[in-house]
Amino acid sequence: MKEKLEALKVEAVAKLQEVNDPQALNDLRVKYLGKKGELTEVLRGMGGLSAEERPVIGQVANEVRGAIEAIITEKQELFQQQETQQRLQAEKVDVTLPGRSLPQGGIHPLSRVVQEIEDIFIGMGYQVAEGPEVETDYFNFEALNLPKNHPARDMQDSFYLTDDLLMRTQTSPVQVRTMQAKNGEAPVKIICPGKVFRRDDDDATHSFQFHQIEGLVIGDNIRMSDLKGTLQQFVKEMFGPATGIRLRPSFFPFTEPSVEVDVSCFKCGGEGCRLCKHTGWLEILGAGMVHPNVLRMGGYDPEKYTGFAFGMGVERIAMLKYGIDDIRYFYTNDMGFVKQFKGI
Ligand code: PHE
Domain limits of the chain? 2-88, 109-341
CATH topology of domain 109-341: BirA Bifunctional Protein; domain 2 (3.30.930)
- Whether 311 is in the pocket of ligand 1, judged by its Cβ within 6 Å, is yes
* pLDDT at residue 6, as a whole number: 85
* pLDDT at residue 38, as a whole number: 84
- Whether 286 is in the pocket of ligand 1, judged by its Cβ within 6 Å, is yes
* pLDDT at residue 45, as a whole number: 80
Residues 273, 280: Cα–Cα separation, whole Å: 7
Residues 161, 176: Cα–Cα separation, whole Å: 21
Is residue 311 packed enough to be buried (19+ CB in 10 Å), middle (13-18) or exposed (0-12)? buried
CB atoms under 10 Å from CB of 29, counted, come to 19
Residues 59, 239: Cα–Cα separation, whole Å: 100
* pLDDT at residue 228, as a whole number: 98
* pLDDT at residue 203, as a whole number: 93
Is residue 160 packed enough to be buried (19+ CB in 10 Å), middle (13-18) or exposed (0-12)? exposed
- Name the closest-CA residue to atom 9, ligand 1: 310
Distance in Å, CA 253 to ligand 1 centroid: 9
Residues 265, 277: Cα–Cα separation, whole Å: 10
> For each of the chain's 344 residues, which pLDDT tens digit applies?
788 888 888 888 888 888 888 898 888 888 888 888 888 887 788 888 888 888 888 888 888 888 888 899 999 999 999 999 999 999 998 899 998 988 888 889 999 999 999 999 999 999 999 999 999 999 999 999 999 988 878 777 899 999 999 999 999 999 999 999 999 999 999 999 999 999 989 999 999 999 999 999 999 999 999 999 999 999 999 999 999 999 999 999 999 999 999 999 988 989 999 889 999 999 999 999 999 999 999 999 999 999 999 999 999 999 999 989 999 999 998 989 988 888 76
* pLDDT at residue 181, as a whole number: 97
The identity of residue 40, as a single letter, is T
Residues 142, 176: Cα–Cα separation, whole Å: 10
Distance in Å, CA 256 to ligand 1 centroid: 12
Is residue 148 packed enough to be buried (19+ CB in 10 Å), middle (13-18) or exposed (0-12)? exposed
- Whether 109 is in the pocket of ligand 1, judged by its Cβ within 6 Å, is no
Distance in Å, CA 195 to ligand 1 centroid: 14
Pocket test for ligand 1, best of 146, 158, 172, 250 (most atoms within 8 A of CB): 172
Cα-to-chain-centroid distance, residue 264: 34
Pocket test for ligand 1, best of 254, 294, 314, 315 (most atoms within 8 A of CB): 254
Distance in Å, CA 193 to ligand 1 centroid: 12
Q: What is the pTM of this model?
A: 0.72
Q: Which residue, among 80, 67, 51, 54, has the nearest Cα to 14 in the 3D structure?
A: 67
* pLDDT at residue 16, as a whole number: 86
- Whether 287 is in the pocket of ligand 1, judged by its Cβ within 6 Å, is yes
Distance in Å, CA 318 to ligand 1 centroid: 18
Q: Which residue, among 162, 340, 289, 306, has the nearest Cα to 222 in the 3D structure?
A: 306
Distance in Å, CA 223 to ligand 1 centroid: 18
Cα-to-chain-centroid distance, residue 269: 35
Check: CB of residue 317 under 8 Å from CB of residue 238.
yes
Distance in Å, CA 332 to ligand 1 centroid: 27
* pLDDT at residue 13, as a whole number: 86
Three-state SS letters, the chain: CHHHHHHHHHHHHHHHHHCCCHHHHHHHHHHHHCCCCHHHHHHHHHHHCCCCHHHHHHHHHHHHHHHHHHHHHHHHHHHHHHHHHHHHHHCCCCCCCCCCCCCCCCCCHHHHHHHHHHHHHHHCCCEECCCCCEEEHHHHCHHHCCCCCCHHHHHCCCCECCCCEEECCCCCHHHHHHHHHHCCCCCEEEEEEEEEECCCCCCCCCCCEEEEEEEEEEECCCCHHHHHHHHHHHHHHHHCCCCCEEEEEEEECCEEEEEEEEEECCCCCCCCCCCCCCCCEEEEEEEEEECHHHHHHCCCCCCCCEEEEEEEEHHHHHHHHHCCCCHHHHCCCCHHHHHCCCCC
* pLDDT at residue 33, as a whole number: 87
